[in-house]
Amino acid sequence: MGQKLQSTDDVLREALEANGQRFTEQRAAVFRFLMSTDKHPTADEVFLAVRQDVSVISLATVYKSLETLVGCGLAVKLTYGDGSARYDGRTDPHHHARCLACSRIFDVAGTLPSDEIHELHDRAQDFHVTGYRLELTGYCSHCADSMTGKERIRA
Amino acid sequence: MGQKLQSTDDVLREALEANGQRFTEQRAAVFRFLMSTDKHPTADEVFLAVRQDVSVISLATVYKSLETLVGCGLAVKLTYGDGSARYDGRTDPHHHARCLACSRIFDVAGTLPSDEIHELHDRAQDFHVTGYRLELTGYCSHCADSMTGKERIRA
DNA sequence: GTATCTGCAAATTTTTTGCCAGTAG
DNA sequence: CTACTGGCAAAAAATTTGCAGATAC
């Protein structure tokens, strides 16, 4: 709770200033929550969690703050076409695994080996690659257990 | 153009029947259009294109048809959190590259080498992997050309 | 002091749904 | 025949926006 060397708030303040934006309590609360969870919350979930932390914040501000964080490279927006976008506060390289049954998203450590990344750069001719995103699909252990095995056909 | 052995319609009919669904002219038109383009159209774009082909079809039906195709494994739904979902009729394994400037999506041939896929399976402990999706981000040649080089910072 | 940010409510955009008539099998 | 589909228009869900007052710097 106290101030450490380079607290979460400091990281945010620095990133915001680098992008010519101001540090506000609302943005800090959103950022703190994102950093504190390995869930991948929707804007609405962030809103519900953060409103307990900060007395007042509106959903619109949460949307704006999240967009600001993404713009500063402090968060990543994930979409799956099933309802709402999700936000990930982890900025170190990692992958995601999404359960096709319960839609939860799990982190998977690691990155592709650099030679594979080079290979991809080469294959994407005429395209200047700056990043990539890898998502596994399948079934989490919980959902896999509660299945007979017959429904697990569609990838 | 004419009917070959195993026409596009036949493929569709077969897939639909396998999933206990009926073959209809609307679904066929949507499917034909999806197969005929390497763009990655939104539902609305499919609607606009298909309504010229088939005399009457409604946007709601396009949505329903696309969802049916996805359910039969004949199309893939892609979302990027910037507006609408996009649909891809190519079902052979390939990757996508998305331009951060113009939002267009390009196909990138190939798959990950199988040892890398095994590696991913292993790393995603307790998760039954059935598939994956790899997306490159960056700038297409057209957008890269029209940039000074300074704006190309954010990945 | 001033440009930027927040909150509110209204607007937009995208997608889904209910219901009746039409049609595939 | 009968259940599944399509069309329509209305609803729902998610996200964005305009503006006035508050706030960071």
State how far residue B122 is from chain A, nearest Cα, in angstroms: 10
B45 and B63 share one domain: yes
CATH number at residue A69: 1.10.10.10
Specify the pLDDT at position B58. Answer: 93
Specify the pLDDT at position B55. Answer: 66
Tens-place pLDDT, residues A126-139:
889 988 889 998 88
Number of domains chain A contains: 2
**A147, pLDDT greater than 70:** no
B45 and B83 share one domain: yes
| Domain, as residue range, for A144 | 92-155
Give the CA distances from residue B99 to residues A52, B9, B143, in Å, rounded to whole numbers and listed in that order.
38, 33, 8
Specify the pLDDT at position B151. Answer: 44
Domain boundary among B91, B116, B137: B91
Specify the pLDDT at position A151. Answer: 44
For B134, the token pair is 């790899």
Specify the pLDDT at position B93. Answer: 83
B141 vs A contacts (CB less than 8 Å): 126-128
**A44, pLDDT greater than 90:** yes
Please, are residues A88 and A75 in contact by the beta-carbon 8 Å criterion? yes
Domain boundary among A49, A71, A91: A91
CA dihedral of A36, A42, A47, A48, whole degrees rounded to 10: -80
**A124, pLDDT greater than 90:** no
Specify the pLDDT at position B150. Answer: 44
A119 and A133 share one domain: yes
CB proximity B63 to A under 8 Å: no
Higher-pLDDT residue of A151 and A66 is: A66
A116 and A134 share one domain: yes
Which among B141, B135, B134, B46 is positioned nearest to B102, based on CA atoms?
A: B141
A97 and A123 share one domain: yes
DSSP result, B75-144: -EEE--SSSS-EEE---SS-EEEEETTT--EEEE-----HHHHHHHHHHSTTEEEEEEEEEEEEEEHHHH
Q: How many CB pairs (< 8 A) connect A and B? A: 127
Specify the pLDDT at position A82. Answer: 77
Q: Which nucleotide is nearest to A30 (CA to C1')?
A: C6
pLDDT band at A4 (very low <50, low <70, confident <90, very high): low
Q: What average pLDDT does the structure give for chain B?
A: 84
Higher-pLDDT residue of B149 and A11 is: A11
**B23, pLDDT greater than 90:** yes
Specify the pLDDT at position B152. Answer: 42
Q: What average pLDDT does the structure give for chain A?
A: 86
pLDDT band at A5 (very low <50, low <70, confident <90, very high): low
A87 and A153 share one domain: no
Higher-pLDDT residue of A52 and B81 is: A52
The order of strands in the sheet holding A95-99 is A105-108, A95-99, A127-140, B127-140, B95-99, B105-108
Give the CA distances from residue A143 to residues A100, B81, B91, in Å, rounded to whole numbers and listed in that order.
9, 26, 26
DSSP result, A4-54: -TT-HHHHHHHHHHHTT----HHHHHHHHHHHH-SS--BHHHHHHHHHHHS
Q: Which of A136, A139, A151, A154 should we substitute to test contact with B (largest number of B Cβ atoms within 10 Å)?
A: A136
The b-or-e profile of A56-91 (16+ CB within 10 A means b, else e) is: ebeeebbbebbebbbebebbbbbebeeeebbbbbee
B98 and B139 share one domain: yes
Chain A nearest-CA residue for B81: A79
CB proximity B130 to A under 8 Å: yes
A86 and A100 share one domain: no
Q: Which amino acid is at A142?
A: H
**B149, pLDDT greater than 50:** no
Q: Which residues pair with B138 in a beta bridge?
A: A129, B99
Cα–Cα dist A122/A126, whole Å: 9
Please, are residues A109 and A90 in contact by the beta-carbon 8 Å criterion? no
Give the CA distances from residue B2 to residues A87, B7, B15, in Å, rounded to whole numbers and listed in that order.
48, 9, 21
B85 and B24 share one domain: yes
Higher-pLDDT residue of A52 and B152 is: A52
B14 and B43 share one domain: yes
Domain boundary among A91, A125, A142: A91
**B1, pLDDT greater than 70:** no
A5 and A65 share one domain: yes
The three-state secondary structure class of A132 is strand
Phi, psi of A2 (to 5 degrees): -75, -170
pLDDT band at B49 (very low <50, low <70, confident <90, very high): very high
CATH number at residue B105: 3.30.1490.190
Give the CA distances from residue A114 to residues A110, A117, A118, B21, B121, in Å, rounded to whole numbers and listed in that order.
12, 5, 6, 45, 19
A109 and A42 share one domain: no
CB proximity A114 to B under 8 Å: no
Which among A117, A100, A93, A124 is positioned nearest to B116, based on CA atoms?
A: A117
